[in-house]
Structure 1
Amino acid sequence: MVCLNVDLIAKSHAHLKNRRSMSLSQYLKKVTHLNFSNKNIEDIGDISICRNLTVLYLYDNRLTQICNLDFACSLTHLYMQNNNIKRIERFSCLQRLAKLYLGGNNISVVEGLEQLTELRELHLEGQRLLPGEKLLFMPSSLLAESLNVLNISNNNIDEIQDLAVLKRLKQLFAANNQLQDLEDVFSQWQELCRMDLSGNPVCHKPKYWDTVITVCRRLEELDGKEISEFSRQFLKNWKASREVKKKSERKD
């Protein structure tokens, strides 16, 4: 079994060869970035000596759980996509984490993020779910005050009403799910500027494009296509004229 530990870092890290004046212990205490992607790693051992670690790359490995990272209170970026992780856990000490990549794992419930008050980006695309299963969200783990970017594409999701609390959301990637309707939640994301819903049934609704642009007033890109200011203004005027017409018909 390959384990990420001090010995593995010492054997694998090329920087050590050019640091003859610095001991291994000194180096590990100062290192800020570690890249151990695609190394067949199955477990994380004791690397607590790396107390200044800020960026850790562990994608494309064989990890089944998140463990032994309690020491990493300076960690801001964690890349753990394409492993075999089943649960989001043991994150309470990573309170400076700003970007978390967990796509391509076996996660079925989004939980355990309550303490990550500085998290800006959360990537959960393409979980390997069981047939008929969909990605679920624990309300207590939805970071309403911090999250700006959320990627939940390819997760068999059929409704996103629980995500309405994400008031600061700027980018939503939810392609290739099972969303059927344009929910009221879109109107509550006042800062949303980029959204991808391609591959969902909702995209085939009449006037889908027009409706989304009208509701999401700051949207600059939808399903990979730029929204021109001319299109936005045209739809705004069209909606205003329809409202005037409706009021006139009521009076008559």
Structure 2
Amino acid sequence: MVRLTVDLIAKNSNLKPRKEETLVQCLKKITHINFSDRNIDSIDDLSLCKNLSVLYLYDNRISQVTNLNYTTNLTHLYLQNNCISCIENLSSLKKLEKLYLGGNYIAVVEGLEGLEELRELHVESQRLPLGEKLLFDPRTLRSLAKSLSTLNISNNNIDDIKDLEMLENLNHLIAVDNQLMHVKDLEVLLRKLMKLWKMDLNGNPVCLKPKYRDRLILMSKSLEFLDGKEIKNLERQFLMNWKASKEAKKISKKRRNRSEDQNNSYISNFETIHHIVPVYYPQVGKPKVVFFSDVQRYLGKASSKFSQEDKTTITEDIGNLSLKESESLLTKTDIHEPHLLQNPKVKENLSENKE
């Protein structure tokens, strides 16, 4: 295995010091170091490289980030495809702007408190145990809320990104090939991320949901690119008009239903007050309706004057009068069943009608 040291850097950096310059002075001039794919497994003290701003260490075997405390001018750090399982020892890199950690073994995004200049964070494709997903430490997210503008969390089995809503200055989110399922969750996120103008979600189950693209475009006025495709003004305006028309139809339908409910309520109240009882006879035409409400009110008022037997007699007499009146209206043509002719009252009424 190989350890990254200043001697190794000096040998491989093609340094050509002047006659009066020492190695230390030459190391101070170095701004970029590229030791990618060199089987490096650890980092030695690089404090002599005081002006180092870009460090390429991807495709190595580094398991722990160490000895970068004095590289305070570092702005870009590339550590993809190593063996790192924990983000640590980076708090002193106050000028760090871009951090690349994709393809490692990181389970939790943490340890980035104090990196107030960090604009890009790439933690895609972590090699996690089966069934596990990448998590976010709220403390780290809060510390990056003001600075972070680009976040790459692709291919990490993530099914929920609501925690990202505190990243108020995020303008580019890359979350392809995850397990995001619900459009509503994305709508909630877009309400919070007012500066997000580019979002890539290809490869998530949510992309197959009906109206997925339309709903996200309607939710975010700042979004300009979705899944690699530009959102044109004409497309957004069309969707906004469609939504307005749909809402207008809903309001109209609610008003119509409310009016119908009021009418139905009036009819129901009328029937309750008057106690309408339909009485059907074997005749052509509409059924006759008998109103018993006045009778009932009369019996109710007279309950103190008459006994129960008297009230029963009065009710029967009124019923007989109603039936007699109805039967008197029957004609022979109204009778559709022959057995009704056997009724003496019906025969008598028929004979009177003939005369």
**1:8 maps onto 2:8 in alignment:** yes
Correspondence for 1:152? 153
Offset, 1:241:
2.0
Residues 94 and 114, structure 2, Cα contact 8 Å, conserved in 1: yes
Aligned partners of 2:123 and 2:35: how far apart in 1? Answer: 20
**Per-residue deviation, residues 199-246 of structure 1 (Å, max 9, x unmatched):** 001011110010111112111111111111111111122122222222
Q: How many residues are paired up?
A: 250
Residues 176 and 203, structure 2, Cα contact 8 Å, conserved in 1: yes
Aligned partners of 2:80 and 2:25: how far apart in 1? Answer: 30
1:19 counterpart letter in structure 2: P
Q: Which runs of 4+ in 1 moved over 6 A?
A: none
**1:234 maps onto 2:234 in alignment:** no
Offset, 1:110:
0.5
Report the secondary structure of 2:163's partner residue: helix
Correspondence for 2:168? 167
Correspondence for 1:106? 105
Answer 1 or 2: higher relative contact order, Cα 8 Å, separation at least 6.
Answer: 1
Offset, 1:112:
0.3
Correspondence for 1:49? 48
Correspondence for 1:191? 195
TM-score with structure 2 length normalisation?
A: 0.69
Offset, 1:55:
1.0
2:104 counterpart letter in structure 1: N
Correspondence for 1:39? 38
Correspondence for 1:19? 17
Offset, 1:250:
2.7
**Per-residue deviation, residues 130-152 of structure 1 (Å, max 9, x unmatched):** 10110000100111111100000
Report the secondary structure of 2:64's partner residue: coil
Aligned partners of 2:162 and 2:156: how far apart in 1? Answer: 15
Report the secondary structure of 2:121's partner residue: strand
Aligned partners of 1:244 and 1:27: how far apart in 2? Answer: 72
TM-score with structure 1 length normalisation?
A: 0.96
> What aligned pairs does 1:128-139 form with structure 2 within 5 A after superposition?
128-139=127-138
| More helix as a share of residues | 2
Aligned partners of 1:181 and 1:150: how far apart in 2? Answer: 20
Give me the identity figure in percent: 58
1:4 counterpart letter in structure 2: L
Between Structure 1 and Structure 2, whose CA radius of gyration is higher? 2
Report the secondary structure of 2:129's partner residue: coil
